[in-house]
Amino acid sequence: MVTAERWAPSYRAVASKYPTVSVYDRITDAANFATLLEIEALTNPRAREEAGAFRKVRPADAIAGPGTTPIMASFAYSGPSRFCDGTYGVYYAGREEETAVAESRYHTEAFLRATAQPSIDVDKRIYVATIEGAFDDIRGRSMRSKLYAAAADDYDYTQRYAHRLYDRNRVDGIVYNSVRNPGGQCVAAFRPRIIRNAHIRKYIQFRWDGRRIAGVVDLINIRE
């Protein structure tokens, strides 16, 4: 089922180690984006990396200009995930702030555990943005469906499902129930151009004790 959705705002948690501004903000015309990236990449190692990653975005869906870094970077650097096999980009977000935090907490904890990290505090930025488009809606599916696999090892089915949708190019992404926050909702957006007005709402911190994330602390709230 395809449904029209407008989430204003949506919420996304991003590691604070990533830059808030990059080459995406400095290019004003998305139509010239690929060419200008290639030119800058001749002398800028990070731009060289972004030039290759930019190919994960369809040219017609690209955006550029001030404020686009948190949107475009999510597509350029998408790796394998629930609805992405790594060959194209996806912007994940929650309809609720607690959903975005729960999703990020789960995946951050899994990474820290897998890499046997000692006790550490991990800073995150919470972005808000408006997302509007037509989405494949699987919120009516049973949570026992393969689309709601709990472990990343079981994402093969969901990745193949999403890739077929992406190749058909008829929807803007997928809306689905959160696996990490019961009652919450998530979106996997396929197109940067359906996302706008992304900005930082707050800073939070995950406190990893060497075995699990023992707490989540609000650090700084940004007034609108």
pLDDT digits (tens, 9 = 90+) for 8-21: 999 999 988 654 44
The CA-based angle 83-94-224, given to 5 degrees, is 140
pLDDT of residue 65: 77
Indicate whether 114 belongs to any domain: yes
Indicate whether 204 belongs to any domain: yes
Matching residue, tokens 């996806």: 90
Indicate whether 60 belongs to any domain: no
What is the number of structural domains in the chain? 1
Residue 36: how many other CB atoms lie within 10 Å? 17
Q: Of 29 and 91, which is predicted with more confidence?
A: 91
Indicate whether 10 belongs to any domain: yes
Instruction: Mention every residue, 6+ apart, whose C-beta is less than 8 A from residue 162.
Output: 82, 83, 84, 85, 90, 174, 188
Confidence of residue 53 (pLDDT cuts 50, 70, 90): low
d(CA 6, CA 134): 9
Indicate whether 141 belongs to any domain: yes
Residue length of the chain: 224
Q: Mean pLDDT highest for which of 26-35, 64-73, 188-197?
A: 188-197
- Please tell me the pTM assigned to this model: 0.86
Residue 34 pLDDT exceeds 90: no
pLDDT of residue 50: 52
Indicate whether 198 belongs to any domain: yes
Indicate whether 121 belongs to any domain: yes
163-179 per-residue burial string, b: 16 or more CB within 10 A, e: under 16: eebbeeeebbbbbbbbb
Indicate whether 30 belongs to any domain: no
> Residues 131, 217: contact at Cβ < 8 Å?
no
pLDDT in tens, 169-205: 999 999 999 999 999 999 999 999 999 999 999 999 9
Percent of the chain with pLDDT over 70: 82
Residue ranges making up the domain that contains 136: 2-20+85-221
